[in-house]
Structures are given as C-alpha cells and as structure tokens.
Structure 1
Amino acid sequence: MMQVPTQALGHGITLIDVQIGRPNVVAAYLLQQGDRAVFIDTGATRSVPALLQVLENQGVDRGCVDYVIPTHVHLDHGGGAGALLEYLPEAQLIIHPLGARHMIDPTKLNAGATAVYGEEVMQRVFGDLVPVPEERMIIAEDGFEVDWNGRLLKFLDTPGHARHHFSVVDAASDGVFTGDAFGLSYREFDTDETGNFGLPTSSPVQFDPEAMHASVDKIVHAGQRYCYVTHFGRVHDVKRIQGNLHELIDIYVETAAAYAEQSAEGHQALSAALMDIILDRAVQHGCDMPRDIMADLLQMDMDLNAMGLIK
C-alpha cells in the first residue's frame, strides 16, 4: 500500500501532501460531508495515485466524489484533474471560466509549463495532461455557490497570481481555500511567538500586482478565520499575513523595476535580490534556521517569482 502523508484538519478536511518536489510544499484537500467527498486542488497527473489511495484509506467510494475543484489550472493545482476524473465516475469539474478551455484542450497549458520547467521536469514531476470532457464541467463565475450535501461552497474570483484563479469559501470550516491567491506559507517558517510567515507568489505568466492586492483583501473580507493555502496547509494569522502580502507585493514590483531591461543575468540577479528580501523578513519574523537552509527551501519559489516579474 502506498504511504501518503496526510493531516486531519477537522471539519471533514484532510490535507494531502502530494509531494511535488520536497515534502510539505504542495497540498491537495479532501473534503468529506456525510458519505460525499470533494477534492480541492489535485496536484499533478503523477499525484493521482496518492489521491486515490487517500480515498481508499478514508473508506470513500470513488462514486461518492461529487466535485474536483482546481483553484486554477497551473499544473501543481489542476494538472491532475483530468486524470483524476477518469477514476471518479460521478464527479464534475468546477472550474474558473478562463480556465475551462485549458482543461478541455491542455495543449497550450502543457507548452507553457514546458517552457518554464523544461521537458525533463515536466515528464518526471508532472506527467502528461489528460483533457476533461466539456460535459463534465461546471463554470464558476464570481459569487457562484454550490449546496454540497448541505454544505455551502462559495466561489470568489481572485486574480493576480493568474487570471483563471478562484478561491473557495467554506463557512463550515471557517475557512477559504485560496490556492496561490493568498500567497505561500511554509510550516518550517512558523514560530511560536509570531505564528505563520507568508509571502506572495508572482510566478509566470499572469502576475498582476493590483489584482493581487484586491484579491488578498477580498479573501480576508470573506470573514473566515482560516486560509487553506496550497503551499502549504492551514494558516490562521490571516490579518497579519494580509498586511505582509500587501507590503511584499509592492516591494517585489519596486525591486523588479531595476532588472526589467536585463537578460537572463537580470533574472538571476532579481531572484537573488528577492531571496535576500524574504530571508531578512523571515529573520525578522523570528525564524532561526540558518540562512542557507531557508534559501534552499525557497530557491524554486524565488526563481519562479523572478520569472513572473520580468516579462
């Protein structure tokens, strides 16, 4: 039997570490309400066996999964959706209107991701994308609601990281599933004194700082206590993270301006500059890990953030 790291978060929510890259980086969430289930975010195609194993471990019949809900179509969030649906005979995909075409025909999504990660990483880490039949899709506009087995799920349009991004309000758990719209928050950076440490993600190709500012506020104004971020887990310091994200979004943009006309060397220099900013912030937050260890944990994110800032 495959061993899949999970964490029970209460309210029928199981965090699943889909282990893309290192552990504790990419989460999918299984929600259970009575005998019914929903997945929010899926990881990649190569994550699907782990998701199915968790269903089996939880005693959930595959026919009892009603929805698969990628917060957006980036491969670590929705790359596995098509492959997963092949095993879930009753499930429908709930998707942002701007993401639907990429699920129906993932050719451009695959090409864009290959341009970012390279062919070798695409195959080794993510796997081939499986199209989703249009008749199995539900399009969720801003404010769309689903009464799922007596549990209300409300969808908020939250661009900034990507135009095809929504977040899912789940009042039953006092939380919002935010994908990447409320940034990254890795558990290794939590401290007893100051709690959760959060930072924005400006990865390619649709970073929009003004839209991200608005989405951060929209999530907080939903009035829930928690955010369930894909990278990684549940955070509770929502108001403080909100302020930090606003500050860092502006700092990202200001820092990137100095490198906007440069080539690949500029990208590397910007990645290093962003790393210094975030490491300094982590130290201020109270993180006592050596800087080289923190840098190793954040290197991929800083490289992707720099790529998204230099367009």
Structure 2
Amino acid sequence: MALPYLHDLGDGIHAIDTGFHRDHFDAAYLMVHNGHALFVDTGTNFSVPRLLAALDDLGLPRAAVDHVIPTHVHLDHAGGVGLLMQQLPRATVLAHPRGTRHMVDPAALYQGALAVYGQAEMDRHYGQLQPVPAERVMATGDGQVLDWHGRRLEFIDTPGHARHHHCLWDEASRGWFTGDTFGLSYREFDTPRGAWIMPTSTPVQFEPEAMKRSIDRLMARQPQAMYLTHYSRVTDLPRLAGLLHTQIDAMVALATPLRQAPARHAALLAGLGALYGEQLQRHGVADVAAGLQGLALDIELNAQGLGIWLDRS
C-alpha cells in the first residue's frame, strides 16, 4: 500500500511529509543509491515512525542507512535524529561542526527551544530529545566531498539562518538540500506564476548579509532544483533567489527603524504581515487572508528572529 506521505521526486530522492504541524509543512528526505540509503533532516521525534515506514515501503533494511544528515540542529529538522539513530545500526550522523555537540548532548538545545516555545508546545510537538553516542557523530567541513557508493555529495557552510547550518549538494540530481537557507515555499501558494518563497529569520542567529551570500553561493553551482525542508522541491531558481534577496532587504528596512520602538514585536508582526500579504497578492494567491493565517507561525518566528538580530546588531 502506497504511503500518502512518501513522494518519489526522481534521482533516488524521496520526500517524506513528516506531519509536523500540518500536511505539506515539513519534509525529510530519503535518498537511495545502489541499495544504500541516507536521510537529510528528520523532523521531530513524532516523525520517526514515518521515516522508518518509508524504509519498509521501499524494501530497505535499517542497516542499509549509512548516514543521517541534519542541515542544522533546529528541532523541526533535527529533533528526531537521536530517536531515529536508535533504529539504524550502521548509520553515522553528519552534522555541521557547530551542531555536533548538540547531537551528543541535546540538553542545551532542548532548553533553548523551551525558552522559545514553552513546555506545553515542547511536549505536544517535540518530545524528549535523545542523545547520539559521540562515536556515531561526525563533523562536516566546508567543501567536504563524500563519495557515497559512487554518488558525489558535497557539504558547504551556509550561515544566515543559523551559524550551525550546512547545505548538501547532490551531483546526480544537480540539486541542493537547503534546510532553511533557501527559505520557505509552501505548495498551497503555487500559482500559474510558479512557486512563492520567503526567507526565514527564525531565532536566534539571523544574519541578513550572510544569508544573501549563502543564497548566492548555492546559485553559483547553477542548480536545477532546491530541496527545501519547508516544503519539498522547487525549480525556477533565479526568480526565487531574486525574490529572497528582495524580501531580506525589505525585512531589514522594516526592522531597522524599530530598534528602540515601544511595542516593537507587535510592530514587526504587523509589518511582516503587510509585506507578505502584498507579496502573496502580487503572486496571484486567491485568498490572501487565509494565506496569512497559514503563515502565522512563520511570521511570529520571523518577528522574533528580527528582534534578536536588532538587539545583537
């Protein structure tokens, strides 16, 4: 029986809708090559059953998985790594060097997320984080090439969204697994104009100029596709990269005059809502109000991230 949340994207790449928050919001990727497998991002602890079911559906034993690769350690990307690794006897975690310690000891990661989301939200959406034995965690390096059973993969350091973020290049598909570096693009906003995209400044390490440089570095490879965690594959990349640059600049222009403003967070929320509403309308989205309602979580997190950036800068 076909799994409704498993989607074959070609080139041995499968998107798994993790079910986090809602359908078509959060993707993990299962790559299959010459009888071997790896995961890029995992979703949360509650996503792990879907990831294991995807292996079963494709006839892959747990021992076929060589690597679990979180693009960065935010919990919607890496919260399920520890629990998943308990089921994968041969796998190693390949993480950004700034993120490896959080895979081995996730206590600080948990407390940081707890401060943002609160206990009820942590229990509902994330659960208790599980550590990975240190000997099963390896740090990647900028420009590091992995010859994965004859398939060339490459890691590059991509700060901007987070300093512990790397992206993975897959030569076979000529695509990047971008985590949050190349923004968020939800399929319900696809119109005859194509996909719509927005940056994510989620707390706590948003750096707009670094994000733009990372986007440009991804585009320099002339990719054919970006595999986003939020959500799935996008093409038409020059247009989307330009839209990301424009919106990053607009977010900075919105936030900078509000550095010392009273009720700053409310002003950021209102300004971001107006920015994205205008963008959605221009893109031809039929129900802009419903679209903004669907973006409420992202707008809240972007406002928090901009506020922290203002205080730090």
Q: TM-score, normalised by structure 2?
A: 0.96
Query: Is the contact made by 1:259 and 1:310 (CA closer than 8 Å) also made in structure 2?
Result: no
Partner of 1:131: 131
Secondary structure of 1:204's aligned partner: coil
- 1:195 lines up with 2:194 in the alignment: yes
Q: CA RMSD in A?
A: 1.3
For residue 229 of structure 1, what is the amino acid of its counterpart?
L
Kindly report which structure 2 residues correspond to 1:269-284, keeping only aligned pairs within 5 A, or say none.
Answer: 269-284=267-282
| Deviation (angstroms), 1:261 | 2.3
User: 2:63, 2:223 → 1: CA distance?
Assistant: 31
| Deviation (angstroms), 1:216 | 0.5
The CA deviation string for residues 257-296 of structure 1, in whole angstroms up to 9 with x for no partner, is: 2332246x321221121011011111111222x2221011
| Deviation (angstroms), 1:164 | 0.2
User: 1:44, 1:57 → 2: CA distance?
Assistant: 20
**Structure 1: gaps of 5 or more residues:** none
User: 1:206, 1:82 → 2: CA distance?
Assistant: 23
| Deviation (angstroms), 1:112 | 0.8
User: 1:184, 1:51 → 2: CA distance?
Assistant: 22
Query: Is the contact made by 1:18 and 1:28 (CA closer than 8 Å) also made in structure 2?
Result: yes
Query: Is the contact made by 1:4 and 1:16 (CA closer than 8 Å) also made in structure 2?
Result: no
- 1:212 lines up with 2:211 in the alignment: yes
Secondary structure of 2:230's aligned partner: coil
Pick closer, same or farther for the CA change 1:236–1:2 going to 2, 3 Å.
closer
User: 2:246, 2:306 → 1: CA distance?
Assistant: 16
For residue 171 of structure 1, what is the amino acid of its counterpart?
E
For residue 245 of structure 2, what is the amino acid of its counterpart?
H
| Deviation (angstroms), 1:135 | 0.6
Query: Is the contact made by 2:67 and 2:94 (CA closer than 8 Å) also made in structure 1?
Result: yes
For residue 245 of structure 1, what is the amino acid of its counterpart?
L
Residue identity (%): 47
Secondary structure of 1:172's aligned partner: coil
- 1:183 lines up with 2:180 in the alignment: no
| Deviation (angstroms), 1:234 | 0.3
- 1:76 lines up with 2:42 in the alignment: no
Query: Is the contact made by 1:158 and 1:212 (CA closer than 8 Å) also made in structure 2?
Result: yes
1:306 to 293, 303, 310: 303
User: 1:234, 1:297 → 2: CA distance?
Assistant: 20
Query: Is the contact made by 1:184 and 1:231 (CA closer than 8 Å) also made in structure 2?
Result: yes
| Deviation (angstroms), 1:81 | 0.7
User: 1:295, 1:2 → 2: CA distance?
Assistant: 33
Moved over 3 A (4+): 1-4
